Each structure stands twice: as C-alpha cells, then as structure tokens.
Amino acid sequence: TGTRATYFGAGPSALPVSVLEEAAKGLLNFQNTGIGIAEISHRSKEFTAFLTTLESLIRTQLDVPPTHQILFTQGGGSQQFSAVVMNMLARYRLLHPLDHTAAGQGQQEGGAAAAAGKLDYVVTGSWSKKAAEEARRLVVGGGGQVNVVVDGRQYSKDGKSFDNIPSHDAYTFSEDPALVYYCENETVDGVEFSHEADSAASFPFHLLKTSSSSGDGGAPRRRLVPLVADYSSSFMMRPIPRLADHAVIYAGAQKNIGPAGLTILIVRQDCLVDVDAAAQLGAAPVPTTLSWKTLADSGSLYNTPSVFSIYMAGLVLERMGAQGGLRYYEEMNRRKEEKVYAAVREGEGKGVFRKKVRDGSESWMNVVFEVSGEGAEGRFLDGAEKRGMKGLKGHRSVGGIRVSLYNAVTEEHTDALVQYMKEFIAEES
C-alpha cells in the first residue's frame, strides 16, 4: 500500500485498505467455498446469506423501521431518476383512478390536476436539476406535471450558480403531489442540507402537506408524504434525519460504501406498487427491472445483481459497525470537514482561496472552493500531486477545487491535505 495515493476523488472514491485486502482474498475464494466472489452463483446459499447480512447491517446502522424495505439494484443514481418518476406516478394513479365523469367537473380532488400527478422537485444543484429534467422527459404526453418547488440559482450570489440551500419561505409545494424530490448532498456544487433542525438550511419537513382530502365521514385522511431523497453522496456518513418520513431514499454505492454497480434503495411499503395494475388504469408501463415491487418480491434477485459490489459493500459496512457505526463516522466526518473549511476560510482571509458555498449550506462530503490568481489553481494541483494527493480537481462543469471527504478518507489524510493548504497559503500570500 506504500504506493497508494491520498485520494480525494468524488466517486468512485477511496475505499478502506483493509477492505480491499479482504476483497482480494474473496476474489479467489469466497467464504471457503473454493469459488471466487465474482464467480459464485447469486442464488448460492452463501451469497444469499451474505445479501441478508448486508440488508441487516444497513437496517441496524441507519435504524430503518419495519415500514421500509431495503432493496438492491443496478443502474446507479441516474437510473433511479427515471424509476422514481415511473413508480411514484404508478402509485399516484392507483390512489387516484381516472374517473371520467368526475374529471374536469372539479368533483374529483383537484379536478384535472388530479389526473396528472404533480412532481415536485427541489432543485439545489446539478444532480437534482438533472433528476427534474429526466422527469420532464418522462411526463411528455400528459402523464404528470413537473413543478420546480425552488431553484437555488435564484438565490445565489451571481444569479446563476448553485451555491446555497434556499430559506424555507422560498419553497412552494403542490397540493397532494405524486412525489416531492430532493438531493440531500449535491456532489458537484458542494451544497448540502443541514442536519441541524433549527438551521435555515435544513430540509423544510414541516412544510410538507401530510393530510389533504377528507376520507369517509369527513374525517381527515392522513396521506403519507411521497418524499424522495437522493442520498448518493451522503449515504452512511451520518444518520438520516426523519428517515421514517421518506417514501424512498436511494444511493449509488460508489462514494461511501463500495464499488460502482450497486444502488441501494430504502422504500416505504406503500410505494411498492403493482405497476401493471397502474398501467391498466392509464399509468405509463414500467420496465420490469425498474419496478421496485419486482425487486421487493424477488428479494432483490429478480435478475443477476452486482455480486462483487454487494460483497464489498458488506465488508465496508461490517467494518463500520465494528468501529462504532454512524455515530462514530458522523463525529469523524464532522472533524474532517471542519478542518478543511477552516483552512479554506484562512486562505480566503489572505486572498488565496474563495469558498463558493454560502455559510450553513456547505457539504460535509464535497468541499468546493476556488484558488484565486493567475495560474494558481494549476500550482495548487501540481503541489498536491507532488505530495501524492489526487482527485482534487473540481467537476468539469464548474471547475475549481473539490475535496471529497468520504468515509474512507482518514483523518490523517485530511490532516495532510490541511497541512498542504496552509503551506500553499503561506507561499501565495
């Protein structure tokens, strides 16, 4: 491991060395079966037992209630941009069967609006913007209506960048939407919802409308909020606030958990809907592999899963559990981000760095900043490279520097980077 770089890449990203060493053994011989993990049948008793263990490691560490199922699939976060729309519109159609006599006469709840489910998107960065764009593609023809609840760019310093979580008064949610979507951590822009409940940059859970129409006898019928969250770059780095209030939480594995190829879903039971029954009622047909209910009914084994990624995710989560779970990681990740932002602020004070994201909206996992001055960014990256530090270049769409501090980035790695940042500040100022 002496030749390994100190790696701050945004995804795929660093994995713990002990896990990589263990996985190397598993590639040759998985649990004394004599068969490598990339070779063994996904229906073997050894692998299915491993999958069950992985599920329970996630359930225990994140405290997932029995109301929610944990599912594994492929296709990454991007595939869920589509699956979310299709499954949630199918659910909406089953809850609101088209009634041609009532539709248009305003008797059915919301009239015509009820016919086309509203898809509420909270847009705070490049990934939620992309998810909303995919939703717009999929509702062409009238199957739904995309409503941008809020767009962070409208509240930015320059009027065009994602550099903030807007304040709560900026959000306009629809009545009885088919889904409400947000991205917890925007990997490219370095913007993240605060987990401090009293912070202005927290997600406005209190504004979600939990009950709407009246049920039989006029009693208010409590509707479960169709809240969907993309946790791709912040999954398992600290506990998830209000997890039980989410309809769906999903994440690609390739930041904190393991190699790419595995997508983890936490889905509330009422969102595991029969997409074929919904299609009978006029919803768009859903490909079998994108239906969450298919995954649930087959124990995430409808087709061959990403066996090796699942294996590595299991090793990572076992290690996390042994170290003290999410509380341990939350504290460590807090110390890491505080140190790096402190160095960014120090550099800002000396005119060397410029923090991009507004105070309170900064991501813990992806710290983005600019290096001021002609050729200075190149000098920063070259100096880092000489010290064996890689993966610091910002996303191609926004430039600048991005330091990704996922779980496998150690405090020693972070300290080494901070030390270098301080040296750079001294040299440049």
Q: Under the rule (CB under 6 A), what is the footprint of ligand PMP?
A: 11, 76-78, 127, 183, 187, 230, 232-233, 252
In this complex, which beta carbon is closest to ligand PMP, that of residue 110 or of residue 259? 259
CB 370 within 8 A of CB 356: yes
Q: Which of 242, 267, 209 is nearest to 91 (CA)?
A: 267
Q: Report the residue closest to ligand PMP, judged by CB.
A: 76
Question: Could you give the angle at the alpha carbon of 160 between the alpha carbons of 400 and 129, nearest 5°?
Answer: 90
Residues 47 and 41: beta-carbon distance below 8 Å: yes
CB of 254 to ligand PMP, least distance (A): 6
Q: How far is the CB of 180 from ligand PMP (least distance, A)?
A: 17
Contact 408, 16 (CB under 8 A): yes
Question: Which of residues 29 and 78 has its CB atom nearest to ligand PMP in the complex?
Answer: 78
108/333 with CB nearer ligand PMP: 333
Q: Which is nearer to ligand PMP, 108 or 306 (CB)?
A: 306
* Minimum distance of ligand PMP from residue 409's CB (angstroms): 16
With respect to ligand PMP, which residue has the nearer C-beta, 229 or 344? 229
Bond before 16 cis per omega within 30 degrees? no
Q: What are phi and psi of 252, to 5 degrees?
A: -75, 150
The runs of H, that is alpha helices, within 209-353 are 275-280, 292-297, 307-323, 325-349
d(CA 410, CA 421): 17
| Closest of 167, 210, 176 to residue 359, by C-alpha | 167
**Residues of 247-283 as b/e, b for ≥16 C-beta within 10 angstroms?**
bbbbbbbbbbbbbebbbbbbbbeebbbebeebeeeeb
Helices 307-323, 17-28: axis angle to 10 degrees equals 140
